[in-house]
Structure 1
Amino acid sequence: MTVRWKKSTCPYCGVGCGLMIETENDKIIHVLGMKGHPVNNGDLCALPANYPQLFTAEGRLTQPMIRRDDKLLPVDWDEAVMHIANGLNRIIKKHGPNAVAFYGGAANLTEEYYLMNKLMKAAIGTNNVECTARLCMASSSMGFLSTFGADAPPTCYDDIEEADLFFIAGNNMAVSLPVLFRRVCAARVKNNTRIIVVDPRRSETASMADIHLQIKPGTDVALNNALAYILLKEGYVDETNVELYTTGLSNLKEVVAAYPPARVAGITGCAENQIIEAARIIGQAKAMLTFWFQGYNQSTQAVFKNNTLHNLSLLTNNYCRPGAGPLSITGEANTLGCRWVGALSHLLPGMRMVSNPRHRQDVAKYWDMPAGKIQATPGRSILDIIHGLHIGEVRALWVLASNPAASLPHTQWVEEGLSKAELLIVQDIFHPTETSMLADVILAGAQWCEKTGTFISSERRVELVEKIIDPPGMAKSDCEIICLVARAMGFQKEFPYTSSDDIFEELKGITRGRICDMSGVSYERLRDKVGLQ
C-alpha cells in the first residue's frame, strides 16, 4: 500500500483554494484544505469532500465514440481523430473557416484554452471561439475594460484584512463563497469593518450587514448613481484628484443630477435616509473593497451596473491602495485564465482584441503566420453560434468540458440547433449528458488531477495543477487530444508540443510586456509551491 499527499488547487470555482490530495494505490481517497495557503489556510467549503467519488462515478468516459446508424459506438483514437480531422477539413473547404466553431467550459486549464484558441484563430482562421465565461463574466470583463482599461481585478484577497468597508452586491456570499466570507466576518470582528449589502433578498449575507439596501430587482444602476450624487453633493469627492486620474467627471455629474436620493428611493424601494447613510459611510471609509457577483453580471444592465459601481471607487480614491478597490469573483475555476489567453470571440491572447490591428499583428508575428490570417472582426457569441447552426452558416461545433444543451437559455432551441450540426464533437469526462447524446463524435478527456496545467484565480494567482493519477481506460488529456486533431488536419508545425510544460512556455511568452505578463512564471517555480500572483 502506497499513500501519498500532493498539493493541488480546487477546480470548482474562481477562489482558488489550495488543496492537499491523499492517494492510496493510485486512487484519490481524501481531499483536505492546504494549511498555510494564502487563500484558504486549510479552510474549505462543502465541495472538496465529494471530489474522490467523481473519479469512479458511473458514466465516466473511457474511450472515444462515433455515431453510426444513429448509435454511438466505441472506436480507437486513430479512427476518432481522423474522422474529426477529415470532417472539419471538408466543411472548411466547402463552407469556409467561419463554418466551424468551438465552445468550452470556464474550468479548463489555461493551456487547453491556448491550444484551442491557436487552432481556431491561427490555423483554421476563424474567431468563433467561445466559453462559458460569456454567460457569467463577459459583462464584468467589459465593465473592467471600459472603466479601468484592463480586464482584471486590481485587488487581492489580502485586501479583505486591510479594508474598513465591504460593499457586497448581487450575491449571497455567505453561502456561495463561504471561505472568503469567513475571512470577511473575521476582518469585521478584528477591525470593526463595516458592511453594506445590496440585495433584493434578506439573505444570510444581508443579515450580517450594517446597512442592507433591499432594492427592487434591476434598480442597481439608479442606486449607484444616487450614491454618487450624494458623494459629490456633500463634498466627499476630491474633484481635483479625480480629474487628475480619470476622464468624464463633468459628464458623470450631469448624469447623476437626475438621481437625487428622494427620487431613487421611489425607484429602488429603499428609504431615502438609508441611501444617504450608505453614501456617507462610503465617503468616510478609508478603504472600501467592493464585491459583486452574478446578480450584477447576469442582467440586461450588467455592464452599466459594473460601471456605476466602479464609479464609487474612483470618486472616493478607493483604488490601487491596500484594502481598496473592486474584487469580482469568477464562478468557475479559470474564467480569468480563459480571458487572458483570448478564449472569447472578440479576444486574442495576452489581453488583446481581434479588432485592434496592432494586436493582430503582434499575435501573428508570435505565431509565425501572415497577419491577415487572423480575422479583423469578432467571431460569433455562443448564442450566435447556435443561431448559425439553425440557419446553416455554422456546420461544425466542438464542445469541450461544457454541456450547452443544459446550461444555455432556451434549451429546446439549443438542442434543435445542436442536432442540425453536420459535425458535433463533444469532449468530456462523462456520458451521457444532454449534449453528448446529440454528438457525432465523443472524445474521452481527463479531468482534474489526471492531467497537468494551470489555473488563474480571481485574484490573478497562477497555480499549477499536476497529474496525480492516470485517467481511466483510453481517456487522454485534453491538450493531447487537441494536438492530435490539429496535426491530423495538417498543422504539425504549429502544434509540436510534447507536454503541457511546452505549451505553457509558449503561451507565457505571448503575454510578455502586457499587463498580464507571465513571462517570469514557470512550472518549476510553481511546482509544490503556492502559486504566483
Structure 2
Amino acid sequence: MAERLVKYSRAQQKDVQDERSYDAQCPYCSMQCKMRVIEQKGPSRTQYKTIALDNPTSEGRLCVKGIHAYQHAVHRERVKQPLFKVDGQFVPVSWEFALAVMKEKFTKIQEEFGTDAVSVYGGGSLTNEEAYLLGKFARVALKTKYIDYNGRFCMSAAASAANQAFGIDRGLTNRLDEIEQTDCIILAGTNIAECQPTIMPYFERAKENGTKIIVIDPRVTETSKMADWHIQLKPGTDAALANGLLKLIIEHGYIDEAFLSERTTGFDEVMDHVQSMEIESISTLTDVSVEQLEKVALTFGKAERAMIFTARGVEQQTDGYMAVRNFLNLLLATGSIGKLGCGYGAITGQGNGQGGREHGQKADQLPGYRSIENKEHRQYIADVWGVNEEDLPRKGVSAYEMMEKIHEGEIKAMFIMGSNPIVSNPNATYVKEALEKLSFIVSVDMFISESGKLADLILPTTSYLEDEGTMTNVEGRVMLRPASKEKPGETKHDWEILCEVAGVLGKEKYFAFHSAEQIFDELRVASRGGIADYYGITYERLREGDGIFWPCPTTNHSGTERLFEEKFYHQDKKAKLMAVSNTPAKKKESTSLEFPLYLTTGRVVAHYLTGVQTRRSSSLAARDIESHIQIHPETADKYGIEEGRLVKIRSERGEIVVRSRFSTDVRFDTVFVPFHWAESQNINDLISNELDPTCRMPGFKIAAVHITMVT
C-alpha cells in the first residue's frame, strides 16, 4: 500500500510542471473571506484548488461559493477582447477601435441631445477605487447627472434609515465578534445561513453563550431553525410588527429613559403614536399572536445588551426605509447602541456593497458620503478634482428611474460596469424594452450577460484574482484585496478602462492614474472630512494589518471599531426617533381573487445575485441548475400543483415558468422563488415598479400572483 502511494505521489508531481498560488478575497458576499487559489499546470490540464486564509472577519472559513469562485474566473466563456456588434453578431475588435467608437458615439449623442443623454450604471462589487472612479468618470468625463448602481436594490433602505436616525450609515455599528457578547438578537428579514454562511458561527457561539435569538421571516429557513423564537409574519408587515414590540416594551417599562433624554430626540412623538394603537389590531395585521408578541418584546426589553440585524427581507419593500427606521426605534428606545454587545447591523449583500455606496456611484452622492446638492460639499470635491463647482452635474435619479428616463427619451446611451440590469431590476420586461430603445450601450463585464447581449460594445474586464484594490466589508472594515494572477487575453482592469475612455474624451489630465493605490490616495483626500472618512487609511497600513474601520481621519488613528460611544453624527450629536405608520402611505400590492398568493423572493446558498458568475461555475450550477417555486403542500393541493412539475407564475406584469418544490417551510398564503435566473425564469419580471418614496427601493419582497401547473 505504501509503495503504491509513493508511486501515485511521484506521478502527480510529474504531471504538475508549474504550481502558482494567488492570494485573494472572495468576490461574492460582504464577508470578504480571505483565500488562496492554487493553480497547478500540467501537460494535459490545469487544476485549481482553494484554501481559506485566516482573518479576523471569517476566521479562516469559506462557503461553497468561495471555494468554487475560481471556476468562473477561468471559464472558457470569459470575454478576453473587445467585442463590437455587427449585423446582430459580436465580432472581436481592437481596443483602439473600441475607444474610437465610444468617442464618436458619446460625443455625437451628447452634442445632439445634451450631456445627460449618456448615463452610467454601476455595480456593488466594484472595488472602492473603481466605484470612486466611476462616479468621477460620470461627472467629469461625461458630465452627466445620470449615474446610479445596482446597490440601490440592496442597501438603500437601510442606508437611508441609518443616515436619518444616526447621521451615518455603516453596515455594522460594531465588530462582528461583539455578537457573542450580547444577550438578545433580532434577525429581521435575513437568512444569513444561506446568504452569508461564514458569519453563522458568530451567532452559533452567541447562542451557546445563552443569547436569545429572534428571527423575523415569513419562511422557515436554516437561519430560523437556530432561533429561540421565529416570528413567521405575513409578508410586508414588518413596520407594524416593530410598532407592536415597541408598544409592549414601553408599556412594560423597559425603555432607557436616561439614554432617550440625553442622547435622542423624537421619542415623545413615537410613544404617543404607538400608545394610540391596539396590540390586537397589530396581531391581526401581522398574523402574529399577541402571546408571541409579548414574549418577544419582553425578551428583548429585559436584555441588558441587545442587537438588531436587518437585511433584504425588511428592506426590499416599498416602505423598507420606514420599517428599518422602526427597528432602529426599538434599539434607541432601549438604549441598545454605542456599547459593548449593543448595536445595529445591516447585513450587506454585495461584496463591496458598503464601500460602493460611499464614494459616488449613487445619484445624489459625492465621495465620502457627501451630498451632491450641498454647495459646500460640491466645492470641496470640485477642488479635489480640479474642476469648477458649477460644472459638476446635479442630482440624477435612481437605477430603476433611469429606465423610465430612457422610455421618456431623455437618456439615449448607457455605460454599464459590473451589472446586469435586465435581471436585477423589477418589472424586467419594461427594463429590457428600455435597453432595446437605447442607441448605444457599452457593457464592461467578464461575460456576455443578459444585458450584455443588448450591448453594442462589450469591454473585457478582470476578475477578483487579477484586480487589486480595497473592499469595505460588512463591518465597515476596509481591506486590501491582493490580486496577482496575470490578466487573460486583452482584458483590462475597470479603472484602466475608465481612464482610457476618459482620455479619448479629452479628460486624460483628470484620470492620469497608473495603479489602484494611486486612485485610493485621491479617494482618501476626496473623503477627508466627510461622513465616510478614509483619509487615515493607506495601502501601507492595510498591507501590515487586518483592515481598518472607517471613519479613520488621520494616519495615526486606529479606526472606529464601535460607533456612537459618545455621539451620533447629526449636528446636535443626538439620534433621531421617528413615528412609523403600520401601513405605508403608498399601499402595497395585496392579494385578490385573481392573484390570491403572496410572492416573495430571495437567494439560495449556491448562487449570487443575477447568477452571471455562479451559473458559470459547474460545481455551483450542479447544486441548483434551474430556478424553482417553493410552495406549501396544502397550497399546492389547493391549486392542483404536483411536486417536481413546471408551474406558471403570473402577476399583473407578466409570467414565468419554474419547477415546483414542496416545503412546509413556507406559509400557506405565500410562495418563494429565487432571483438568480434570467429569461423565462426571471422572477423580477413579476415585480412591481412601485418604489419606496424615500430611498427608491423597489418592493421585491411582495407581489400578488396566481399559479397553475403547466400541462
Q: Normalised by the shorter chain, which TM-score bucket? A: over 0.9
1:394 aligned to which of 411, 414, 418: 411
Aligned to 1:491: 507
Question: Contact (CA 8 Å) 1:290, 1:327: kept in 2 or not?
Answer: yes
Aligned to 1:40: 58
Question: Contact (CA 8 Å) 1:86, 1:489: kept in 2 or not?
Answer: no
Determine which structure has more spread, i.e. the larger CA radius of gyration. 2
Secondary structure of the structure 2 residue equivalent to 1:510: helix
Farther off after superposition, 515-524 or 481-490 = 515-524
User: 1:62, 1:28 → 2: CA distance?
Assistant: 20
The one-letter code sitting in structure 2 at the alignment partner of 1:413 is Y
Secondary structure of the structure 2 residue equivalent to 1:158: helix
Aligned to 2:109: 91
Aligned to 2:185: 166
Question: Contact (CA 8 Å) 2:407, 2:437: kept in 1 or not?
Answer: yes
Alignment of 1:187-266 (within 5 A): 187-189=206-208, 191-266=209-284
- Give the 3 Å change call, closer, same or farther, for CA 527–28 of structure 1 in structure 2: farther
Aligned to 2:633: none
Secondary structure of the structure 2 residue equivalent to 1:204: coil
1:463 aligns with 2:462: no
User: 1:231, 1:12 → 2: CA distance?
Assistant: 38
The one-letter code sitting in structure 1 at the alignment partner of 2:150 is T
Alignment of 1:402-413 (within 5 A): 402-413=419-430
Alignment of 1:337-376 (within 5 A): 337-376=355-394
- Give the 3 Å change call, closer, same or farther, for CA 104–380 of structure 1 in structure 2: same
- TM-superposed deviation, 1:40: 1.3
Q: What TM-score comes out, normalization by structure 2 length? A: 0.72
Farther off after superposition, 202-211 or 274-283 = 202-211
1:9 aligns with 2:34: no
Q: Cα deviations across residues 344-385 of structure 1 (Å, max 9, x unaligned)?
A: 101111011112121111111211111111233x20212221
1:447 aligns with 2:452: no
Farther off after superposition, 411-420 or 490-499 = 411-420
- TM-superposed deviation, 1:471: 2.2
Secondary structure of the structure 1 residue equivalent to 2:80: coil
Question: Contact (CA 8 Å) 1:508, 1:519: kept in 2 or not?
Answer: yes
- TM-superposed deviation, 1:234: 1.6
Q: Cα deviations across residues 306-336 of structure 1 (Å, max 9, x unaligned)?
A: 0000011101111111111111111110011
Question: Contact (CA 8 Å) 2:23, 2:483: kept in 1 or not?
Answer: no
- Give the 3 Å change call, closer, same or farther, for CA 284–166 of structure 1 in structure 2: same
The one-letter code sitting in structure 1 at the alignment partner of 2:148 is E
2:494 aligned to which of 468, 478, 485: 478
Aligned to 2:348: 330
Q: Cα deviations across residues 155-212 of structure 1 (Å, max 9, x unaligned)?
A: 22121121111111112222222211222012211x1111111112222222221122
2:432 aligned to which of 415, 430, 433: 415
Question: Contact (CA 8 Å) 1:345, 1:380: kept in 2 or not?
Answer: yes
- Give the 3 Å change call, closer, same or farther, for CA 300–106 of structure 1 in structure 2: same
Percent of paired sites with the same residue: 32
Question: Contact (CA 8 Å) 1:159, 1:289: kept in 2 or not?
Answer: no
Aligned to 1:30: 49
Aligned to 1:268: 286
- Give the 3 Å change call, closer, same or farther, for CA 28–133 of structure 1 in structure 2: farther
2:534 aligned to which of 518, 529, 532: 518
The alignment yields a C-alpha RMSD, in angstroms, of: 1.7
1:293 aligned to which of 311, 320, 331: 311
User: 1:165, 1:323 → 2: CA distance?
Assistant: 9
Question: Contact (CA 8 Å) 1:449, 1:465: kept in 2 or not?
Answer: no
The one-letter code sitting in structure 2 at the alignment partner of 1:225 is N
The one-letter code sitting in structure 2 at the alignment partner of 1:188 is K
Q: Cα deviations across residues 16-55 of structure 1 (Å, max 9, x unaligned)?
A: 22222323459782222212x1111111211122122212
Return the structure number with greater relative CO, CA threshold 8 A, min gap 6.
1
The one-letter code sitting in structure 2 at the alignment partner of 1:330 is T
User: 2:21, 2:351 → 1: CA distance?
Assistant: 22
- TM-superposed deviation, 1:2: 4.4
User: 1:141, 1:357 → 2: CA distance?
Assistant: 22
- TM-superposed deviation, 1:414: 1.3
- TM-superposed deviation, 1:249: 1.0
Secondary structure of the structure 2 residue equivalent to 1:527: helix
Alignment of 1:124-203 (within 5 A): 124-152=142-170, 153-189=172-208, 191-203=209-221
Aligned to 2:124: 106
- TM-superposed deviation, 1:124: 2.7
The one-letter code sitting in structure 2 at the alignment partner of 1:159 is E
- Give the 3 Å change call, closer, same or farther, for CA 5–531 of structure 1 in structure 2: farther
- TM-superposed deviation, 1:275: 0.8
Question: Contact (CA 8 Å) 1:61, 1:444: kept in 2 or not?
Answer: yes
Secondary structure of the structure 1 residue equivalent to 2:31: coil
Question: Contact (CA 8 Å) 1:21, 1:28: kept in 2 or not?
Answer: no
Aligned to 1:381: 398
User: 1:264, 1:157 → 2: CA distance?
Assistant: 33
User: 1:525, 1:468 → 2: CA distance?
Assistant: 19
Question: Contact (CA 8 Å) 1:130, 1:345: kept in 2 or not?
Answer: yes
Aligned to 1:316: 334
Question: Contact (CA 8 Å) 2:36, 2:53: kept in 1 or not?
Answer: yes
User: 1:81, 1:528 → 2: CA distance?
Assistant: 38
User: 2:31, 2:222 → 1: CA distance?
Assistant: 20
- TM-superposed deviation, 1:4: 4.1
The one-letter code sitting in structure 2 at the alignment partner of 1:423 is F
1:20 aligns with 2:36: yes
- Give the 3 Å change call, closer, same or farther, for CA 507–114 of structure 1 in structure 2: same
- TM-superposed deviation, 1:6: 4.2
The one-letter code sitting in structure 1 at the alignment partner of 2:416 is V
Secondary structure of the structure 1 residue equivalent to 2:373: coil
- TM-superposed deviation, 1:496: 0.8
Secondary structure of the structure 2 residue equivalent to 1:524: helix
The one-letter code sitting in structure 2 at the alignment partner of 1:141 is A
The structure carrying a bigger helix percent of its residues is 1
- Give the 3 Å change call, closer, same or farther, for CA 247–155 of structure 1 in structure 2: same
Aligned to 1:80: 98
The one-letter code sitting in structure 2 at the alignment partner of 1:124 is L
Secondary structure of the structure 2 residue equivalent to 1:94: helix
User: 1:241, 1:60 → 2: CA distance?
Assistant: 55
Aligned to 1:426: 443
Q: Cα deviations across residues 476-524 of structure 1 (Å, max 9, x unaligned)?
A: 1111111000010000111111111110110111111233221122222
User: 1:25, 1:160 → 2: CA distance?
Assistant: 43
Secondary structure of the structure 2 residue equivalent to 1:180: helix
Question: Contact (CA 8 Å) 2:22, 2:483: kept in 1 or not?
Answer: no
Count of residue pairs the alignment pairs up: 529
**Which blocks of at least 5 consecutive residues in structure 1 are unaligned?**
none
User: 2:73, 2:298 → 1: CA distance?
Assistant: 52
- Give the 3 Å change call, closer, same or farther, for CA 287–20 of structure 1 in structure 2: farther
- TM-superposed deviation, 1:529: 4.3
